[in-house]
Structure 1
Amino acid sequence: MEAENRRGLVTIRSSFPETVTEIEDLPIPMPDGTRLSARVWMPQSAKAKPVPAVLEYIPYRKRDGTLPRDELMHPYVAGHGYACIRVDIRGNGDSDGLMEDEYSAQELQDACDVIGWLARQDWCSGAVGMMGKSWGGFNCLQTAFLQPPALKAVISVYSTTDRFADDIHFKGGALLGENFGWGSVMLSYSSRPADPMLRNGWREDWLKRLVAEPFLAPRWAAHQTRDAYWKHGSICEDWDRMTVPILSIGGWNDNYMNTVAKLLEGAKGPVKGIIGPWVHQYPHTAVPGPRIGFLQLAIRWWDRWLKGIPNGAEDDPALRAYMLHSAPPDPSAAHRDGHWIAEAEWPSRRVSRRVLPVSDAGLGLAGPLSSRVCTPQHLGMAAGEFFPMGLNAEMAGDQRADDALSVCFDGPPLTGPLELLGAARLTLRLASDKPLAFVVARLCDVAPDGSSTRIAHGILNLCHRHSAESPQPMRPGVAEDVVVVLDQMGYRLAAGHRLRLALSTTYWPFVWPSPEAAVLTLMQASLDLPVHRGSEEEWTPPQAETATPWAHRVLREGKSGRRIESDLIAGTHALVVEEDTGDTENLGHGLVTGETTTERWEIGADPLSARAAITWEQRLSRGDWRVRTRAETVMTASATHLRMQATLTAWEGDQVVFRRDWDEEVARHFV
Structure 2
Amino acid sequence: MRDQPVEVDGITVERDVPIHVGDGTVLRADVFRPTEPGDYPVILAMGPYGMGLHLADGYPANWRRMHESYPEVAHGSTGRYQNWEVADPEKWVPDGYVCVRVDSRGSGRSPGFLDVLTALQARDLYDCIEWAGQQEWSNGKVGLLGISYFAANQWQVAALRPPHLAAICVWEGFADHYREGARHGGIACEFVKGAQARQMFTVQYGMGSRGPTDRNTGRPVAGDVDLDDDVLRQNRRDLYAELLARPVNGAFYQERTADLSRIEVPLLSAGNWGGMGLHTRGNVEGFLAAGSELKWLEMHGDTHFSPFYNDRGLGLQKQFFGTFLKGEQNGWLDRPPVELLVRHPGERFEPRFEQEWPIARTEWTAFHLCPETRELRTSPGASGTLSYQPEHEDLRFRLPPADHDREFTGPAAAKLRISSATTDADLFLSLRLYDPQGTEVTFIGSNDPKVPVGLGWLRASHRRLDTDRSEPYRPVHSHDSIEPLVPGEPVDVDVEIWPTSIVVPAGHVLELGIGGRDYSNQGTRIENAMYPTTGVGPFIHTDPQDRPAEIFGGTVTLHFAPDVQSYLLLPAIPAP
The TM-score by the shorter chain falls in which range? 0.7 to 0.9
| Structure 2 match to 1:456 | 454
Q: Counterparts in 2 of 1:248-287, with a 5 A limit? A: 248-255=269-276, 256-269=279-292, 270-285=294-309
Identity within the alignment, %: 26
Verify the 8 A CA contact 1:193 1:206 in the aligned structure 2.
no
Q: In structure 2, what is the Cα distance between the partners aligned to 1:80 and 1:316?
A: 22
Secondary structure of 1:79's counterpart equals: helix
Q: In structure 2, what is the Cα distance between the partners aligned to 1:414 and 1:456?
A: 20
Query: C-alpha root-mean-square deviation of aligned residues, in Å?
Result: 2.5
Give the direction of change, closer, same or farther, for the CA distance of 1:33–1:239 in structure 2 (3 Å limit): closer
Verify the 8 A CA contact 1:184 1:215 in the aligned structure 2.
no
Give the direction of change, closer, same or farther, for the CA distance of 1:469–1:254 in structure 2 (3 Å limit): same
Higher strand share: 1
Q: In structure 2, what is the Cα distance between the partners aligned to 1:371 and 1:439?
A: 16
Q: Counterparts in 2 of 1:214-293, with a 5 A limit? A: 214-235=237-258, 238-255=259-276, 256-269=279-292, 270-285=294-309, 291-293=310-312
The alpha carbon displacement at 1:258 in A equals 1.5
The alpha carbon displacement at 1:35 in A equals 2.0
| Structure 1 match to 2:183 | 170
Verify the 8 A CA contact 2:389 2:556 in the aligned structure 1.
no
Q: Counterparts in 2 of 1:102-113, with a 5 A limit? A: 102-113=116-127
**2:12 maps to amino acid:** T
| Structure 1 match to 2:342 | 323
TM-score of the superposition, structure 2-length normalised?
0.77
2:20 pairs with one of 22, 29, 40: 29
The alpha carbon displacement at 1:267 in A equals 1.3
| Structure 1 match to 2:61 | none
1:87 pairs with one of 102, 110, 126: 102
Verify the 8 A CA contact 1:80 1:299 in the aligned structure 2.
no
| Structure 1 match to 2:408 | 420
**1:77 maps to amino acid:** W
| 2:444 maps to 1:436 | no
| 2:393 maps to 1:373 | no
| Structure 2 match to 1:20 | 11
| Structure 2 match to 1:38 | 29
**2:184 maps to amino acid:** K
**Structure 1 gap ranges (5+):** 1-17, 286-290, 328-335, 380-404, 536-671
Secondary structure of 1:76's counterpart equals: helix
Q: Counterparts in 2 of 1:181-192, with a 5 A limit? A: 181-185=194-198, 186-190=200-204, 192=207
| Structure 1 match to 2:152 | 138
| Structure 2 match to 1:97 | 112
Verify the 8 A CA contact 2:431 2:455 in the aligned structure 1.
yes
The alpha carbon displacement at 1:144 in A equals 0.3
| 2:164 maps to 1:153 | no
| Structure 2 match to 1:489 | 500
Give the direction of change, closer, same or farther, for the CA distance of 1:369–1:310 in structure 2 (3 Å limit): farther
| Structure 2 match to 1:400 | none
Q: Counterparts in 2 of 1:581-592, with a 5 A limit? A: none
Secondary structure of 2:175's counterpart equals: coil
Secondary structure of 1:521's counterpart equals: strand
Give the direction of change, closer, same or farther, for the CA distance of 1:198–1:375 in structure 2 (3 Å limit): closer
| 2:378 maps to 1:355 | no
Verify the 8 A CA contact 2:108 2:223 in the aligned structure 1.
no
| Structure 2 match to 1:203 | 225
Secondary structure of 2:23's counterpart equals: coil
Secondary structure of 1:146's counterpart equals: coil
Q: In structure 2, what is the Cα distance between the partners aligned to 1:60 and 1:123?
A: 26
Q: Counterparts in 2 of 1:43-62, with a 5 A limit? A: 43-45=34-36, 47=37, 49-62=38-51
Deviations 1:408-441 (A, max 9, x none): 1112222211101111110112222211211111
Q: Matched residue pairs, number?
A: 473
Give the direction of change, closer, same or farther, for the CA distance of 1:431–1:209 in structure 2 (3 Å limit): closer
Verify the 8 A CA contact 2:456 2:495 in the aligned structure 1.
yes
| Structure 1 match to 2:530 | none
Give the direction of change, closer, same or farther, for the CA distance of 1:200–1:502 in structure 2 (3 Å limit): closer
The alpha carbon displacement at 1:342 in A equals 1.5
The alpha carbon displacement at 1:211 in A equals 4.6
TM-score of the superposition, structure 1-length normalised?
0.66
Give the direction of change, closer, same or farther, for the CA distance of 1:244–1:118 in structure 2 (3 Å limit): same
**Structure 2 gap ranges (5+):** 1-8, 56-80, 442-451, 465-477, 520-538, 561-565
